[in-house]
Amino acid sequence: MQTNNKQDILPISETLFIPLAARASEIKRDNPIIIDDKSVEIISSIDTSNMVIDGGEISTLGILSRTKVIDEEVNCILEKFPESIIINLGAGLDTRICRLDNGILNWYDLDLPEVISIRRRFFTENDRIHFISKSVLDKSWVNEIDIKESSNIIIIAEGLLMYFTEKEVTLILDILSNRFPEAHMFFDVLHSFFINKKISSTFLWGIDHAIDIEKLNDKAKLIQSWSTGNLLKERQSLFFRLFNFLSFTRNRSQILHLKFEKNDA
Ligand SMILES: C[S@@+](CC[C@H](N)C(=O)[O-])C[C@H]1O[C@@H](n2cnc3c(N)ncnc32)[C@H](O)[C@@H]1O
């Protein structure tokens, strides 16, 4: 039976159906970027008739790029530190736990309460997989993470920070860097060209160059960045391939890997 999950959530949370649909739709392709049976199962049980679930070619490729890069990068860290703690901010109906669970990691999915209640219909909490029903801007959420001094921490924020103002992004980075020194963080960021324009959503924050992120937090060190214009090129239309020489087209969305430096003693 299909259920309508849209009625109780804020417009910002409705954006969670776009990445869900992008991942699920790959199953129909000859050369899928990912095979995500869980997203297919979820989307087929939701009545999406009155929802925007297709963000267009560029949004879909950006979502698939970040899914692939973050899956691979987190997996690499998990090979070295299999008992890592993963904190997934703005989790929505993200399915990464189904792909990366190694049986010993600890995983926290955080989102607004009404979204976590939708998440509970499709995912189950256990002694290693936890849900946090709070805004990322409410710094009390950090107290729900059970950390030990030796814990290796990986923070993921996919499709999230562009919905906040620069002041709010700075607050989030402050919360993270103070509470989780030495944590790795993976997230996507838009080019500032796309700010305050009505695209698939209205975005409030972006940066021109990946290194600019260090200006927002003095403990944040950029480890690596990926421009989505350079990823999945075989799937990009001729128009985008031609215009990738422009920095705002090539860097329309970038995936960043940061590491927070230790707090001063
Ligand atoms: C575009 S969706 C991305 C979902 C998921 N990360 C993915 O890639 O499939 C944005 C998500 O951020 C969540 N979100 C928005 N504002 C939030 C806040 N203040 N605190 C926590 N989550 C928030 C929304 O509810 C939604 O689930």
The CATH number assigned to the domain holding 199 equals 3.40.50.150
**Res. 250: pLDDT tops 80:** yes
Residue 160: CB within 6 Å of ligand 1? yes
Q: Which atom of ligand 1 sits closest to the CA of residue 23?
A: 9
Residue 12: CB within 6 Å of ligand 1? yes
Residue 92: CB within 6 Å of ligand 1? yes
**Res. 1: pLDDT tops 60:** no
State the pLDDT confidence band at 134, using cuts at 50, 70 and 90. very high
Cα 214 to the center of its chain, rounded Å? 19
pLDDT (tens digit, 9 = 90+) per residue, 71-96? 999 999 999 999 999 999 999 999 99
> Could you tell me if residue 76 is inside a domain?
yes
15 CA distance to ligand 1 middle (Å):
7
State the pLDDT confidence band at 6, using cuts at 50, 70 and 90. low
DSSP notation for 167-225? HHHHHHHHHHHHHSTT-EEEEEEE-GGGTTSBSSSB-----SSGGGGGGT-TTEEEEEE
113 vs 13: which has the higher pLDDT? 113
Residue 137: CB within 6 Å of ligand 1? yes
Q: Which helix (H) or strand (E) holds 157?
A: strand 153-157
* CA distances for 190 relative to 58, 87, 116, 121, 135, angstroms: 12, 21, 26, 31, 21
**Res. 2: pLDDT tops 80:** no
- The pTM (predicted TM-score) of the whole model is 0.95
> Could you tell me if residue 17 is inside a domain?
no
Phi, psi of 215 (to 5 degrees): -70, -20
pLDDT for the residue numbered 265? 52
6 vs 169: which has the higher pLDDT? 169
pLDDT (tens digit, 9 = 90+) per residue, 12-41? 888 999 999 999 999 999 999 999 999 999
pLDDT for the residue numbered 62? 94
202 vs 219: which has the higher pLDDT? 219
Query: Which residue of 8, 9, 15, 187 sits with most ligand 1 atoms within 8 Å of its CB, as the best mutation to test the pocket?
Result: 15
The total number of structural domains in the chain stands at: 1
Which span out of 54-58, 215-219, 229-233 was modeled with the highest average pLDDT?
A: 215-219
- Mean pLDDT computed over every residue of the chain: 93
Range of the domain at 167: 56-260
- Give strand pairing partners of 155: 87, 185
> Could you tell me if residue 202 is inside a domain?
yes
DSSP notation for 59-84? HHHHHHHHHHHHHHHHHHHHHH-TT-
> Could you tell me if residue 134 is inside a domain?
yes
Phi, psi of 249 (to 5 degrees): -80, -50
**Res. 58: pLDDT tops 90:** no
The Cα–Cα gap between 42 and 46 comes to: 7
219 CA distance to ligand 1 middle (Å):
24
Query: Which residue of 5, 16, 97 sits with most ligand 1 atoms within 8 Å of its CB, as the best mutation to test the pocket?
Result: 16
- Eight-state DSSP code of residue 235: G
Average pLDDT over every residue of 155-182: 97
**Res. 197: pLDDT tops 90:** no
55 CA distance to ligand 1 middle (Å):
15
> Could you tell me if residue 145 is inside a domain?
yes
User: Residue 75 corresponds to which amino acid?
Assistant: N
> Angle at Cα 153 formed by Cα 67 and Cα 206, nearest 5°?
50
- Eight-state DSSP code of residue 152: -
The Cα–Cα gap between 137 and 24 comes to: 30
* CA distances for 162 relative to 3, 156, 166, angstroms: 29, 14, 9
Residue 229: CB within 6 Å of ligand 1? no
> Could you tell me if residue 22 is inside a domain?
no
Q: In the chain, what percentage of residues exceed pLDDT 70?
A: 96
Q: Which atom of ligand 1 sits closest to the CA of residue 94?
A: 9
239 CA distance to ligand 1 middle (Å):
30
Nearest CA to ligand 1 atom 18: 135
Nearest CA to ligand 1 atom 27: 92
> Could you tell me if residue 7 is inside a domain?
no
> Could you tell me if residue 142 is inside a domain?
yes
pLDDT for the residue numbered 260? 98
147 CA distance to ligand 1 middle (Å):
23
Phi, psi of 111 (to 5 degrees): -160, 175
Residue 133: CB within 6 Å of ligand 1? no
Token pair in block for residue 114: 């009404």
Cα 127 to the center of its chain, rounded Å? 23
Average pLDDT over every residue of 184-203: 89
26 vs 9: which has the higher pLDDT? 26
